Structure 1
């Protein structure tokens, strides 16, 4: 059934039918050759049993509890409580025979933890084997408590997604490319990396491309060198002045070229302490070049409403900039179709038909045709840097801290090169292999 509320239902616009060839083979027929999108979905979509799901309504699929879940994974649901979910290893998991691998832990107890500080205390006391929280203070005390991270030193964490400053292109003065460029040149991302994240993350490149081969092979150094930006307040001030932004009333902040006042806010959810501290730095950076901006911390529901509804000036977000097998997924998030509710990306409603055209052309390029893909991507990168609809800031970490009290051979730069993640939707990127490599102490 083709329910429009399911987030990947748009695939039916270009996927005609699925033909069963034999018990191990299917043939998929397409009306359009969207190679990049299809390769991305192959990594993301779960396999579910037809006999359970075929008669469910759209509401049941989207909001149902899915009691007694059945899937193809290496663990089954054994039980749950108010603060935990308990999984039991599936001794009949298909990959034991087909791939010769088997997870080491017989059970996984997935705990609900109320916050970063609680998780920090639990990992120090050996009450958590693995944490995927951002834990401040880990670099300073990791040796004393035997805490394991992927890298021994900075940045300690692998990069997982790009934190982007979304500028609302439908509001003045963010609709002015010169103002947007001034914002980009004004922000000291190195300060955020050092002061807020204690060097557990790295600063983003001007394009926001994660430092993985699948993305960086399309990174055009010449385009970035010619059109990119970096922290330089003097350039920011000049861009503002040349575009007619001047301090008319002497209050230290520039007015718009038409003489109107500029008062902007930057939002992140209350309680997201790392992001809260980050936008304080950004607001101070913007104030320093004459842009009147302040940090605001609405509760999460209001933040989401304002973000999706386009009712904001500037906002930090990273919801769908995640590591993937194709950089197409990142640009799809940045340039998603403009709608009344921007639930999947392009929160600032950047509207450039040429960008959309290039995205579609890249999507139609076979994954292994690098030469054709690079030509399209270089053009898209140049357009992005000339327009600066949004400002990539830092690579949010694949937060990973582990205790070695009970288990060893965790992923690291020296050991198993697996993605150390337990987040929903990330097991298929390496989390399962992490479990197969663990050794009981």
Structure 2
């Protein structure tokens, strides 16, 4: 701990010198970090995963926003939306919305955004045309989507995910420009415009003519300076000095520092300090022996103690997951499968783990301290996480030791990120921790669709890394998607069936909820959202501004 505080002191000293030449009026400028890891070079909303954070949300807007705290879709560019029938959805757009260049925003822009992906199948959302039949625009402010098969959960998700682009600009671009262009001077409808950038920062200037000023209120910061901060210790120092107003980093030491520095703000005043934003899973390679045995996988679930990980590795800033990985948010818990969890759920219980292993035939035949497989063969499992991800590294080491405690020979391994990703996606691993697409959303369907991705291929880039193959379960996930979301009872019946199969087969083990890392300084900006004042979800990550970040900009104050 002494070494940690020495590093913090040095970070404070260095950042004081580094940012002493700030030229913007401080009480009009928000300094943010935690969502930019490379120099800004891309503002293309067609490839939002490569774009600078804020490209979607601050510049380009979606039809809806989403408030996970209230579980409400927020009409945004859309003024309203309704199902005309089971396979047709009508949107009424807001009038008076303009693009940053003054051109009116109309239904033609929405239609163009969707149909561009039909013309260019390489666009990431082109798969929507597998179930969209047509997009019609009866007038400038009405859009009607007709579906071959309605996918209610997925559609609600897309309503706040898909950025709308201007037809009058993008229709003149080549395929290469659309797919891989930097879009250096982006024109959107949003509350901010791209002003300038350098290797370590992206600067946004407030759009004082934003249509939303009259609907939601004007964002308070005139400028947002989004900083590329590559060290957690530097970020801690900047928060302490008030040179970083909001951090979406995981910052070690925050529970201790909060006791001494009143200017540090977090969502909760005490443990767990952070909201739960996504679920970390231990994916198990179901194609390898003996890991292809569900009896072994289920026994391993009882051998893991996530409470120790939450308490020691994360300093109480996260909480253990429930047995099905459901985030503790209103939009997911209304579908929670209580019956399946009651009958088949697991918790840390090494005695039960040993009994299940014994029953399944995993016994230490040669008395070397480790169990052999039922056929008598020796086996050893590895758990991979990327090198340098210190919280996951420590977690993997603890899990390996917990496995060894019940007689399973296990070790943690730390390949560099590129090797980790190659092994994970190609199936060349035993076990791996991952959480890349388990984040908060409007529906737990998004998590199921990731964990049980049915498109099993040579490379699995989007979930189901262990290549678990269960057509019955895949069909249930599809049924869930096709069930109207307001029919809670019907959705729960399907979720119960999914959970029953999941808990019996255990192709992946939910571990803990990664936090919505949120630390703010109250030295310049105040009225940050919190448990006591939950007006916005405090996120500035890529593609997430429309789930609370913009509302936070409206709610904070420098007075």
Tell me by how many angstroms 1:58 deviates: 5.0
- 1:134 and 1:227 map into 2 onto residues whose CA distance is 33
- 2:223 and 2:209 map into 1 onto residues whose CA distance is 15
Select the residue among 202, 209, 222 that pairs with 2:319.
202
SS at 1:153 equivalent? coil
- 2:171 and 2:364 map into 1 onto residues whose CA distance is 63
Equivalent in the alignment of 2:380: 263
Residue 419 (structure 1) aligned with residue 537 (structure 2) = yes
Select the residue among 69, 94, 99 that pairs with 2:211.
94
| Residues 425 and 461 in structure 2, CA contact (< 8 A), matched pair in contact too | yes
- 1:207 and 1:144 map into 2 onto residues whose CA distance is 38
Equivalent in the alignment of 1:402: 520
- 2:194 and 2:532 map into 1 onto residues whose CA distance is 33
| Residues 339 and 496 in structure 2, CA contact (< 8 A), matched pair in contact too | no
Select the residue among 212, 233, 257 that pairs with 1:117.
233
- 1:94 and 1:49 map into 2 onto residues whose CA distance is 16
| Residues 473 and 498 in structure 2, CA contact (< 8 A), matched pair in contact too | yes
Tell me by how many angstroms 1:10 deviates: 1.1
Residue 141 (structure 1) aligned with residue 257 (structure 2) = yes
Equivalent in the alignment of 1:212: 329
Equivalent in the alignment of 1:339: 457
Select the residue among 138, 158, 172 that pairs with 1:41.
158
| Residues 409 and 416 in structure 1, CA contact (< 8 A), matched pair in contact too | no
Per the normalisation by structure 2, the TM-score is 0.77
Tell me by how many angstroms 1:165 deviates: 0.5
Equivalent in the alignment of 1:438: 556
- 1:255 and 1:73 map into 2 onto residues whose CA distance is 60
Select the residue among 217, 222, 229 that pairs with 2:339.
222
| Cα gap change, 1:360 to 1:126, in 2 (>3 Å) | same
The C-alpha deviation readout for 1:174-222, integer Å capped at 9, x for no partner, is 1100010111000000000000011111110000000011100111222
Select the residue among 346, 350, 354 that pairs with 1:233.
350
Residue 12 (structure 1) aligned with residue 129 (structure 2) = yes
| Cα gap change, 1:151 to 1:338, in 2 (>3 Å) | same
The C-alpha deviation readout for 1:39-60, integer Å capped at 9, x for no partner, is 1111211111123333545554
- 2:174 and 2:287 map into 1 onto residues whose CA distance is 37
Tell me by how many angstroms 1:431 deviates: 0.7
Select the residue among 421, 446, 465 that pairs with 1:304.
421
- 1:381 and 1:232 map into 2 onto residues whose CA distance is 20
Tell me by how many angstroms 1:436 deviates: 0.2
- 1:57 and 1:200 map into 2 onto residues whose CA distance is 47
Tell me by how many angstroms 1:4 deviates: 3.5
Instruction: Show structure 2 runs of 5+ residues with no match.
Output: 1-115
| Residues 192 and 281 in structure 1, CA contact (< 8 A), matched pair in contact too | yes
- 1:59 and 1:369 map into 2 onto residues whose CA distance is 43
| Residues 452 and 474 in structure 2, CA contact (< 8 A), matched pair in contact too | yes
Alignment of structure 1 residues 318-329 onto 2, 5 Å: 318-329=435-446
Tell me by how many angstroms 1:84 deviates: 0.3
The C-alpha deviation readout for 1:389-411, integer Å capped at 9, x for no partner, is 11000010000000001000000
SS at 1:350 equivalent? coil
| Cα gap change, 1:391 to 1:152, in 2 (>3 Å) | same
Equivalent in the alignment of 1:360: 478
- 1:286 and 1:72 map into 2 onto residues whose CA distance is 53
Equivalent in the alignment of 1:380: 498
- Cα RMSD, aligned residues only: 1.3
- 2:209 and 2:389 map into 1 onto residues whose CA distance is 41
Q: Which moved more, 1:364-373 or 1:278-287?
A: 364-373
State the 4+ residue runs in structure 1 displaced beyond 6 angstroms. none
Per the normalisation by structure 1, the TM-score is 0.97
Q: Which moved more, 1:52-61 or 1:424-433?
A: 52-61
Tell me by how many angstroms 1:352 deviates: 0.3
The C-alpha deviation readout for 1:23-73, integer Å capped at 9, x for no partner, is 222111111111111111112111111233335455544433221112222
- 2:558 and 2:397 map into 1 onto residues whose CA distance is 44
- 2:226 and 2:400 map into 1 onto residues whose CA distance is 38
- 1:58 and 1:296 map into 2 onto residues whose CA distance is 42
Tell me by how many angstroms 1:223 deviates: 1.5
- 2:466 and 2:191 map into 1 onto residues whose CA distance is 40
Instruction: Show structure 1 runs of 5+ residues with no match.
Output: none
Equivalent in the alignment of 1:171: 288
| Residues 5 and 58 in structure 1, CA contact (< 8 A), matched pair in contact too | no
- 1:58 and 1:175 map into 2 onto residues whose CA distance is 44
SS at 2:124 equivalent? coil
The C-alpha deviation readout for 1:123-150, integer Å capped at 9, x for no partner, is 1121100000000110111142220000
Equivalent in the alignment of 1:154: 271
- 2:175 and 2:460 map into 1 onto residues whose CA distance is 21
SS at 1:16 equivalent? strand
- 2:186 and 2:171 map into 1 onto residues whose CA distance is 14
The C-alpha deviation readout for 1:289-312, integer Å capped at 9, x for no partner, is 111111111111111111111111
- 2:179 and 2:305 map into 1 onto residues whose CA distance is 41
- 1:100 and 1:23 map into 2 onto residues whose CA distance is 23
